[in-house]
Amino acid sequence: MNKPYIGITGFMSRAEVEVILSKLSPSNNHLLMVGVLASWKTLRSITNKWPNRYPPVGKIANIFSTDPRALNLVHYHTDESETLLHDLRWLTNLGGKLLHGFQLNVKWPPPKILDEYRIKHPDKKLVLQIGGGALEEVKHSPIRLAVRVAMEYNEVTDYLLIDPSGGFGMDLDIEKALDYLRALKEADIKLTMGVAGGLNGFSVPALKKIADEFPDLCLDAEGRLRDEQDTLDLEKAKHYLTESLKLFL
């Protein structure tokens, strides 16, 4: 089982990462997941509509930390499955030696492509994001979700994140998330599982019910940790981290 993490997505500089890492105890069971965003557009030097969340890809390697408490991931979004393998390999080079892997913000990425990537990069971790579109394809059924993950992704990914919000700050449905997690557990899914959706320091305590049942739960937050200029708000991020850690005491 992979070590669980508390994630913050949308870092733009290593200085931001170091501020947050300073609030993480060395003895804590959870890593800090350092999420750096990239997309098909930004990989090709095309500015997208979130310039304060997506750094120039040439700067990605400089954002990641050497701290062993950090899990450094590129969160890659694309609708172009035919270029996914090429793009992951491209980003692996751009991410540098501190890159630990990817979160795949892709609706049901082809397992064959993930397997091909892992053959060349067995040391890299892959997070399968289950977003709103992926949930729609399984008709929001916990059983259908568990069956599909068990059949197609159990051997080619390391983590699974239930993330209906997709960075837009929409609240997580606690009971529905529990239904998904329980179905995945019953299906003997090997992946380390997590949830995301509308998380910040004020909403995280509501996850206590999930954390008590799933003590190795991963979390990730993005949209509600931004300020009015859509810049990462470090005070909000520190508050979120502090409250998240309390869930697992």
Paired residues of 128 in beta bridges = 104, 160
Q: Which residues of the chain are under the pLDDT cut of 70?
A: 165-169
The SS3 call for residue 43 is: helix
Phi, psi for residue 224 in degrees, rounded to 5 = -90, 10
Domain span holding position 210: 5-246
* 8 Å CB contact between 210 and 217: yes
Question: What is the domain-level CATH number for residue 203?
Answer: 3.20.20.70
In this prediction, residue 25 carries a pLDDT of: 83
In this prediction, residue 1 carries a pLDDT of: 76
What total number of domains does the chain contain?
1
pTM: 0.96
pLDDT tens digits for range 188-221: 999 999 999 999 999 999 999 999 999 999 999 9
Measure Cα distances from 6 to 38, 48, 115, 166, 188 in Å. Answer: 20, 26, 26, 16, 23
In this prediction, residue 67 carries a pLDDT of: 96
